[in-house]
Amino acid sequence: MSQFSNKEKQILLDIVDKTICHGLETRQLLEINLADFPENLCAPGASFVTLEINHMLRGCIGSLLAYQPLIVDVCHNTFAAAFQDPRFSPLTKDEYPVLTKHISVLSKPEPIYFTSEEDLLSQIRPGVDGLILSDLGARGTFLPTVWESIPDPKLFLAHLKQKAGLPMDYWSDSIQVERYITEVIE
């Protein structure tokens, strides 16, 4: 069951559009007045905003922890995904009409306790869990939607290690993994 009404989902999607349009015109972040939004969207929330063109990633930036109002978090992450993702040049006006936008609202991350890599793999829920992996100052996350392109848990974990800047076959007793789920709004 969704934690947001259809109206609240539409407001979040509208903020993504307004943020991108404002950014294309001014290269500035849209200002948010919390009094203009429902209470549920003003509660602390963590989000990722993913932008795609023709099913290819065009930007993805987010927050793992709820530290600001959700509507503000979505606005900031939209602007960052469109104009500040270091993997891409800033979004252009020509790209906007063909852009697909997804908002992932994250649950609070919970630690997974395991004794070995095999134990960890047995606890991961493919298609459900987003994972945060950290060790030796390295950190990376994959949203649950990444399962669509990497459905095998062992490969999912190997690519997550690589994203964190570790070798794909890396293992240490100090690795920490947290899981979260998301509600995707599109």
Tens digit of pLDDT at every position of the chain (186 positions): 789 999 999 999 999 999 999 999 999 999 999 999 999 999 999 999 999 999 999 999 999 999 999 999 999 999 999 999 999 999 999 999 999 999 999 999 999 999 999 999 999 999 999 999 999 999 999 999 999 999 999 999 999 999 999 999 999 999 999 999 999 999
Distance CA 126, CA 93 (A): 37
The CATH number that domain 110-181 falls under is 3.30.1490.150
CATH topology of domain 6-106: Glycoprotein, Type 4 Pilin (3.30.700)
Enumerate the CATH 3.30.1490.150 domain ranges in the chain, comma separated.
110-181
C-alpha 120: how far from chain center: 22
Measure the CA–CA gap between 102 and 59, rounded to whole angstroms: 11
Q: Where in the chain is the domain with CATH 3.30.700.20?
A: 6-106
- In angstroms, what CA-CA distances link 183 with 128, 134, 135? 10, 23, 27
Beta strands in 45-135 (DSSP E): 46-53, 56-62, 99-106, 110-112, 130-135
pTM for the full predicted model: 0.94
